[in-house]
Amino acid sequence: MTFSVPVTVRGYELDVNGHMNQAVYHQYAEHARWEALRAAGLVPDKMRVDGLGPVVLESTVKHLRELHLGDEVTVTCRFEWGEGKAFRIRQQIRKLDGTVSAEFTVVLGLMDLTLRRLVPNPIERFRALAESPDVLDL
């Protein structure tokens, strides 16, 4: 399942060249990841009570087209699960006409906040906690 959230580019997110600042692309991607977790029923307070928190281990972005003030975009998340402690989320920032502005590959883990270590199998923990695991492709 591909989760998506709409965002409109705001004036304070622009750089001196008149297009969206490169750091804001990362903020949009993070916003969409949190919205996907929230849609799955994994709000931060619920995860903290269980002593867990998602952590970004690596984030790679490919900038393809610039965005300008007022551009309406959709930010997507598609979860990819494998074996081990890490998982991936593939993301795109797309204009409403379908033009892809940026592509992200984000590697994450699920941290045990007491031990300060990644849990060995995040799939099991997410599946147990999520109210709507299908949002996370579980």
Q: How far is residue 135's CA from residue 126's CA, in Å, rounded to a whole number?
A: 11
Q: How far is residue 94's CA from residue 137's CA, in Å, rounded to a whole number?
A: 21
pTM: 0.94
5 pLDDT higher than 90:
yes
Which residues neighbour 117 within 8 Å (Cβ) at sequence distance 6 or greater?
111
Residue-wise pLDDT for 83-103, tens only, equals 999 999 999 999 999 999 999
Residue-wise pLDDT for 23-38, tens only, equals 999 999 999 999 999 9
Q: Across all residues in the chain, what is the average pLDDT?
A: 96
Mean pLDDT of 68-80: 98
| Contact status, residue 47 vs residue 53, Cβ threshold 8 Å | yes
CA distance to 7, 35, 56, 119, per residue, from 86 (Å): 28, 20, 10, 9
- At 29 the three-state DSSP class reads helix
1 pLDDT higher than 90:
no
Binned at pLDDT 50, 70 and 90, residue 71 comes out as very high
- At 86 the three-state DSSP class reads strand
Measure CA of the first residue to CA of the last residue in the chain; give whole Å: 9
Sorted by where each starts, the structural domains of the chain and their CATH numbers stand as: 3-136 (3.10.129.10)
